[in-house]
Amino acid sequence: MNSQIPVTTLNDGMKVPMLGFGTYTMNGNQGAQGIHHAIDAGYRLIDSAYNYENEGTVGEAVRRSSVPREQLMITSKLPGRYHSYDKALITIQESLYRAQLDYYDFYLIHWPNPKQEMYAEAWQALIDAKRWGLIRSIGVCNFLPEHIERLKKETGVLPSINQIELHPYFNQEEQRMFHEEHHIATQSWSPLARAKNILGEEVLQEIARAHNKSISQVVLRWQYQLGSIAIPRSSSHERQCENMAIFDFSLSETEMSKIASLTRADGRLKDQDPAEYEEF
């Protein structure tokens, strides 16, 4: 059951697939079945979060699967209300108990919550949890360059990954350049912009027709060619497979720029600007 997904190496030496699977709202037995199907389809990187209340569901899917645990990469995330050092360490352990896992491959700070201003303390807890073997690789989500600079200044340790909102309506060009300069991998959340308006975009329809692919495949291929690790979610096995079939065609420079032209300064899906927005 070897997966066809190309792999990249992170700044801490971890190897990770260039396409993963999102699980937001996938909970309970139905969620576990859906995630199990995604693993069957060939996904090896599975995203979750303490705040999705589905770490247990992901753990159950891992146990239902015949793919050995060590071939899977499981992610969870620290919520904003547990940024203090002691609470962060307890939360990481609680995340592991919920999933019934011995370690997470990735543990990320979910939001910087800059007004609360405790993310550097939380980061120190992640650094120590990694040292103690609870996590293999540590990263962040939704961190702006100034937040990452602060982590570097206070701890000397850069995240391996920054998971950010990235889709054709918000292509994050500057943030991606910053990641490249600092050897931080970009991971795209809502990579399909939740598959609403995007499916009606003429420019995407035209490119999809030219390659005999679906719009979702074109968007995910665009993500891959940008160098970002997309984590699309789908509850349907058919669409899970469809979203993986993106490694047998490529987009031209012109097509890449046409997709980039859909980007707008206010293109975020829910106006969640990490400089202001906080989530607990």
Ligand X SMILES: NC(=O)c1ccc[n+]([C@@H]2O[C@H](COP(=O)([O-])OP(=O)(O)OC[C@H]3O[C@@H](n4cnc5c(N)ncnc54)[C@H](OP(=O)(O)O)[C@@H]3O)[C@@H](O)[C@H]2O)c1
User: Would you name the residues annotated as active-site residues?
Assistant: 52
- Give the binding range for ligand X (CB under 6 A) out of 9-17, 123-131, 191-199, 202-210: 191-199
- Range in contact with ligand X (rule: CB under 6 A) among 66-74, 113-121, 126-134, 228-236: 228-236
CA 276 remoteness from chain centre = 21
The footprint of ligand X on this chain (CB under 6 A) covers a number of residues equal to 26
- Binding string, residues 138-177; x marks residues near ligand X by CB under 6 A: ---xx--------------------x--------------
Q: Is 277 in the site for ligand X (CB under 6 A)?
A: no
| Secondary structure class of 59 (helix, strand, coil) | helix
User: Residue 76 carries which DSSP code?
Assistant: E
Is 138 strand, coil or helix?
strand
Record the tokens describing residue 113, joined without a space. Answer: 């919550």
Cβ at position 212, least distance to ligand X in Å:
15
Instruction: Cite the DSSP H helix spans in 191-249.
Output: 202-211, 215-226, 237-244
By CB neighbour count within 10 A (0-12 exposed, 13-18 middle, 19+ buried), where does 76 fall?
A: buried
- Interface residue with ligand X among 54, 113, 162, 216 (CB under 6 A) is 216
Distance between CA atoms of residues 37 and 31, nearest Å: 10
Determine which residue in the list 35, 242, 262, 274 makes contact with ligand X, applying CB under 6 A: 242
- Footprint on this chain of ligand X (rule: CB under 6 A): 22-24, 47, 110, 141-142, 163, 189-195, 214, 216, 231-236, 239, 242-243
